[in-house]
Amino acid sequence: MTIEIIRPARTLQGSLVLPGDKSISHRYAMLAGLAEGTSRLANFSTGADPHSSLACMAALGAKIVEQEKHVEVTGVAGSFSQPLEALDCGNSGSTMRMLAGLIAAHPHTFTLVGDDSLTQRPMERIRKPLAQMGANLTLTDGHAPITIRGGALHAIDFATPIPSAQVKTAVLFAGLQATGTTSLSEAILTRDHSEHALRAFGATLTRRDGRLLIAGGQKLRAIDATVPGDLSSAAFFLCAALLFPDSNLILDAVGLNPTRSALLDVVAALGAKIRLLNVEEHHGELVGTIQVNANPAGAPAQPFLISGALTAQLIDELPVLAAVAPYTRGGIIVRDAQELRVKESDRIALVASNLQAMGAQVTERADGLEIPGGQTLHGATIDSGADHRIAMAFSIAGLRATSETEIQGAEAASISFPEFFTHLKTLCPE
């Protein structure tokens, strides 16, 4: 276990270029692995999770060459090989769920495994739609390890029962290789990186009457692409900017996908001044520079409510928003966030217990949290729960504590953001 000591900081100043977006890196790796030709993916995520996706592609027959500034993936032209060993998804639920849809149409037997955390996360949510398409998936008490006996798939009409971009992606990836046209609808729209990535690799998707349609039998072609900077990684520093009246932060070449950029609106509502500069589109994804300064006068006096569709859009950013909530003027109320309980940890419980350890008032609910604003916190020993987002979120909370904060299990940050602590020390002088 690695321990990081976070000391109270005076301000937050500087600029960063963030590692590649984790969600986009996963999708590019998988589609490049299936495609014909060699894809060059610059600024690929440095996190461990997307590299689990790359390793699985290699095990399925793709050729992976990691260069200093890009990754080259030579795909299998639509035909995965029988892997010699189980496909190890590490800590990555994204890898396991999306990969299941990608490989289900191939006439081999696959076993998907992961670490202790991943084997506790629910997988029935992907088994049901893939089984409806004709796939044979065997779970272990609803979890990994998963055995998939691949074969011919047929199209289905599917309505996602819970907001999940991973489930949507599994169905779209399977539908790409099925007989007929698969139709999918969402009651709450989730991030649409998969739709953009599929189109970038040459697939045709259409939206009609609120449903996504993808025809089977389509072939993918290799691409050259630069992965935008990760907005979920940016979230930690955007929230840190709220903590210091004279903060000034510039984040270059960050992904600004509209299905995720609600984060910027929330940070602004909590007391930040945000400017977007140099916005462009690359392979369907918006990319731009974010400048953020604190704007305490703009913060609401009442708690800011995050619920419904907004909760789904912010699901990855909720831990850090909650961790800085005590320092905001009005605090935060989080509702409809049951999904946080089945992530890498029970994030609702860990956020509550760690905030309480720092002396905060917080009420834990089954589906969220109530955190009053205007609080003063002291340093404490933080249990990361081996969860990267908890480790990083409470490192940000520690910047405004009145004494040192000890992050136990800080190595978990490498799952998504290995450079996190280096960047934090650069931006926040003691």
**Closest CA relative to residue 20, chosen from 59, 61, 63, 71:** 71
Q: For 142-145, which contacts have Cβ atoms below 8 Å and span 24 or more sequence positions?
A: 143/119, 144/89, 144/96, 144/112, 144/113, 144/114, 144/118, 144/119, 145/86, 145/111, 145/112, 145/113, 145/119
228 touches 20 (CB < 8 A)? yes
The residue extents of the domains of the chain are 3-20+228-427, 22-225
| Domain at 3-20+228-427, CATH homologous superfamily | Enolpyruvate transferase domain (3.65.10.10)
Which pLDDT does position 194 carry in this prediction?
98
Q: How many CB atoms lie within 10 A of CB 197?
A: 27
The reply to whether domains 3-20+228-427 and 22-225 share a CATH topology is yes
Instruction: Give the Cα separation of 56 and 93 in Å (integer).
Output: 13
Which pLDDT does position 68 carry in this prediction?
85
Which pLDDT does position 349 carry in this prediction?
98
Instruction: Give the Cα separation of 314 and 264 in Å (integer).
Output: 10
Catalytic residues: 316
Top-level class of domain 22-225: alpha beta
Residue ranges, the chain, pLDDT below 70: 430
Place of tokens 């009145």: 402
Can you spell out the DSSP letters for 10-32? S--EEEEEPPBPHHHHHHHHHHH
Strands 109-113 and 70-74, how do they pair?
Answer: unpaired
Tens digit of each residue's pLDDT (9 = 90 or more) over 208-255:
998 999 999 999 999 999 999 999 999 999 999 999 999 999 999 999
Which pLDDT does position 395 carry in this prediction?
98
Which pLDDT does position 430 carry in this prediction?
64
Which pLDDT does position 429 carry in this prediction?
72
